[in-house]
Structure 1
Amino acid sequence: MLNTYNEALTWIHSLLKFGIKPGLKRVEWLLERTGHPEKEITCIHVAGTNGKGSTVAYLRSMFNAAGYSAGTFTSPYLISFNERISIDGNPIEEDELLRFARLLKPLVEEVSQSSLGSPTEFEVITVISLLYFAEKKPDIIIYEVGLGGLFDSTNVITPIVSLITNIGFDHMGILGDTVEEIAFQKAGIIKENVPVFSTVDQEPAVNIIKKKANEMSAEASLSGIDFSYMHLGSSEHGEKFVFQGMRGSNLELEITMKGLHQVKNATLALAAVEYLNSEKIYHFTHGQIKEGILSAFWAGRFEKAASSPDIILDGAHNLQGIQALKQTLEHHYPSKNIYLLFAALHDKEYKTMMKELKDIIKGVYFTTFDFPRAAFANQLLAESPFQNAKAIEPWEEALAEAKKQLKGEDILVITGSLYFISEVRKTFSKI
């Protein structure tokens, strides 16, 4: 029996040992036994290698600005575990999580004894979210895919719109190591007669998405063909751009999340909202869209945590994320000395990530953090392409050393892993 929230959390985390087990059968078994909550909700499904969380944030913010309540299911978390399941930015209460964990624990134990085996942590969290949202009934729920799409446990939902942000190389041991293989997994979220919107730009991946959409009689709308944007400029406040929609819209907008990749993410969310508006499924005014897109925020994405020197937290954890980070630094800090505090998971392509940043970084502090898959600082240093680099553990000492050495006009970028950013972010009290 689970008596407290902490006991519930410990039990959920204990399922981590079952790792990643692609497939929907265990989740479907649990949903069958709990009354099929997935059939009681209205939702949007978001897949992609990077940019899922930001796209979810743009959608939620626009729905909230239009007066709708919006649930979100996201991963991983940056501050508290409960934020993964939220309504209007408010995480599920501890007693609610405990209640659903109590309900599921005997079912998880029962299915574990069957040929299906034990559900994973992510599968259990997915089911908890579905039970919670079915009970609370927000106007819309935005589900972020955990990994891939086709066999991800969130793929038990039938959304009103599917979104695919982009295709990059991550989790290749599970999703495949070609653009086509990864695109096939992401396109697995496309459901029959459910429109899909995508900002994927590699032709082979686009062809996979179009083929899957055609098989499912789902209308596919693509960035650069059916909707587009024109970037107007970057400033210390964010990005300005024009969104050109499929139904003649031509909106001049501003976002506070920095980087051209964020413009792209915002455009994808805007395309979905434009469709829902035109179909009269939901109603958004231009003013609500502008307000929502401007106020959207997603922690740990080029987030300014301190000034003099500016300290930027960015959760880039794969090559595509690092490329976006580099582009954003070049746009917003073209003439500054940029230093790096870097930690990464040992199973990521961190050598490629480091090489990408080599030309713009003045100096690097390698470190590590408390996580089972975290690489050691000396391991990173040994494979470093940087001339001016040192390894310091623990990360608190590395951060203190960097702050001591940097001048007021310098920039410190803390990056390499979302889990690392989550840990570091707690030390900056103002955020």
Structure 2
Amino acid sequence: MFSTYEEALEWIHSRLRLGMKPGLQRMEWMMEKLGHPERRIKSVHIGGTNGKGSTVTFLRSILQEAGYSAGTFTSPYFEKFNERISLNGNPINDEDLVRLTNDIYPLALELEQTELGGPTEFEIITAMAFQYFGHVQPVDIVLFEVGLGGRYDSTNIIYPILSIITSIGLDHTAILGDTYEQIAFEKAGIIKPGISVITGVKQKGALEVIQDKAFSLKAPVYHFGKEFTISDHKPLAQGESFSLETVFQNFPGLETGMSGKHQAENASLAVMAAELLNKFYSFLIEENHIRTGLKTAFWPGRFEILSENPLVVIDGAHNEEGVAALTAEVEKRFADKRKHIVFAALADKKLDEMISKLDSAADRITFTEFEFPRAASAEELYEISTNSRRHLYKDWKGLIETEVLESGKDSVLIITGSLYFLSEVKPFLLNLLKDKKTII
């Protein structure tokens, strides 16, 4: 058993050695031993390739504005591990994390002695979330973000009151399949009999897979672009403005605090979810709650402007679709500026397509690397690039310090790639900018 936060965290991270183990049997076994805390939770299940975290944040912010206590389970964390289990946007405290780890630890030891084998890191964290919201800190509603895929994801033992599938992209293809339809099949695994599903999926084949699964389970489907549509979209200095029409109500002139057209779309998914919670599940959510919730919602590392002078942006574009959204936003917002991109990524991503898009958007691009088991080397990234002004710099701290010092008023520094990379970059950058008194 553990007496300190550091001991608990070390044990949790030690489970990474087990990798990923598909199947829900270990989760079901642990829930049985814990008295099924997952059955005590009213939940919304959010899957998809991109936009899960932002959609969770928008919906959680709306629910808070309406006066509800909202738990969230998300991954990965950005600044501190505790973020993965949060209440009203606040990470659980260290004491609760130790308590939860001690609840799960003996079960993990016992499970290792069975034919199912020991639980993975993600299974342990998921079990901790169920235990926390089911037995330790009950709340009005919990928003569970899928970790990977959907069908065999550890979170998929819940029976939610609402499901959301944000988007489909070609990510984790070695595990989920290498076509949109195959990936959609895995994502659609979170759809439950009779439970409404909201989706932002746009590819025809992938959408048909989701529709077919929903139809077979008699689950109503609300499609972006059909049952709810965006119009009058325009970027703001910080965020987006758009009007939204749903099957229930019109919302002219909504605003978000997060930037990018994709964030307007993520916000529309959250509003549609709030509408369904209001109409069918007795959540008293009014228009002013929606407007304020969207405007005040914040999710770190998503086109986040850390400084205006010098202009520094971080964005966790870690797959092809994410990079496409980033480059489109960069071209739109910073057309009159020279764009220097710093990029580090995990080696198991489709790097060629990502780097090709970044090459096209960058006036200059520098590839770097960071300490992480699956991280690509700076050399690997550099060799893929065809940009005539590409550079290689292994020491990311030295690179960023130099770039911040040399950035001019006619340029923008964009640091992007793996969220694991950005989680290290952000606190370093904030300290650097604070020292130079340039932080906004």
2: CA distance between counterparts of 1:413 and 1:86?
29
Q: Per-residue CA shift, 1:323-361, capped at 9, x if unaligned?
A: 000111122112211101111111111221010122221
Residues 201 and 224 of structure 2 are in contact (CA less than 8 Å); yes or no, is this contact kept in structure 1?
yes
Residues 46 and 56 of structure 1 are in contact (CA less than 8 Å); yes or no, is this contact kept in structure 2?
yes
Match of 1:323?
Answer: 324
Match of 1:196?
Answer: 197
Match of 2:42?
Answer: 42
CA positional deviation for 1:252: 2.3
CA positional deviation for 1:404: 3.1
1: CA distance between counterparts of 2:142 and 2:231?
29
- Cα RMSD (Å) of the superposition? 1.2
Match of 1:393?
Answer: 394
CA positional deviation for 1:280: 4.8
Q: Which runs of 4+ in 1 moved over 4 A?
A: none
2: CA distance between counterparts of 1:207 and 1:9?
42
Q: Per-residue CA shift, 1:89-145, capped at 9, x if unaligned?
A: 111111111111112111101111211111100000000000001121111100000
Match of 2:108?
Answer: 108
Residues 310 and 409 of structure 1 are in contact (CA less than 8 Å); yes or no, is this contact kept in structure 2?
no
Q: Per-residue CA shift, 1:62-115, capped at 9, x if unaligned?
A: 001111111000000011000100001111111111111112111101111211
Match of 1:10?
Answer: 10
Does residue 242 of structure 2 align to residue 232 of structure 1?
no
Q: Per-residue CA shift, 1:350-386, capped at 9, x if unaligned?
A: 2210101222211112111111111111221122121
2: CA distance between counterparts of 1:380 and 1:100?
40
Residues 308 and 410 of structure 1 are in contact (CA less than 8 Å); yes or no, is this contact kept in structure 2?
no
Alignment gaps of 5+ in structure 2: none
Match of 1:271?
Answer: 272
1: CA distance between counterparts of 2:70 and 2:251?
26
Which letter maps to 1:35? G
Alignment gaps of 5+ in structure 1: none
Does residue 101 of structure 2 align to residue 64 of structure 1?
no
Secondary structure at 1:200 match in 2 = coil
1: CA distance between counterparts of 2:405 and 2:104?
49
Does residue 437 of structure 2 align to residue 425 of structure 1?
no
Match of 2:93?
Answer: 93
Does residue 294 of structure 2 align to residue 290 of structure 1?
no
Match of 1:410?
Answer: 411
Secondary structure at 2:77 match in 1 = coil
1: CA distance between counterparts of 2:104 and 2:46?
26
Match of 1:214?
Answer: 215
2: CA distance between counterparts of 1:363 and 1:155?
43
Does residue 245 of structure 2 align to residue 244 of structure 1?
yes
Q: Per-residue CA shift, 1:181-223, capped at 9, x if unaligned?
A: 1000000000111100001011111111111111111111111
1: CA distance between counterparts of 2:194 and 2:220?
7
2: CA distance between counterparts of 1:251 and 1:120?
46
CA positional deviation for 1:227: 0.9
1: CA distance between counterparts of 2:384 and 2:238?
36
2: CA distance between counterparts of 1:411 and 1:23?
45
CA positional deviation for 1:52: 0.2
Between stretches 244-253 and 81-90, larger displacement belongs to: 244-253
Match of 1:374?
Answer: 375
Report the TM-score when normalising by structure 1.
0.98
2: CA distance between counterparts of 1:40 and 1:250?
34
2: CA distance between counterparts of 1:118 and 1:297?
36
Secondary structure at 1:393 match in 2 = strand
Report the TM-score when normalising by structure 2.
0.96
Residues 366 and 398 of structure 1 are in contact (CA less than 8 Å); yes or no, is this contact kept in structure 2?
no
Match of 1:124?
Answer: 124
Identical columns (%): 45
Between stretches 296-305 and 387-396, larger displacement belongs to: 387-396
Match of 1:51?
Answer: 51
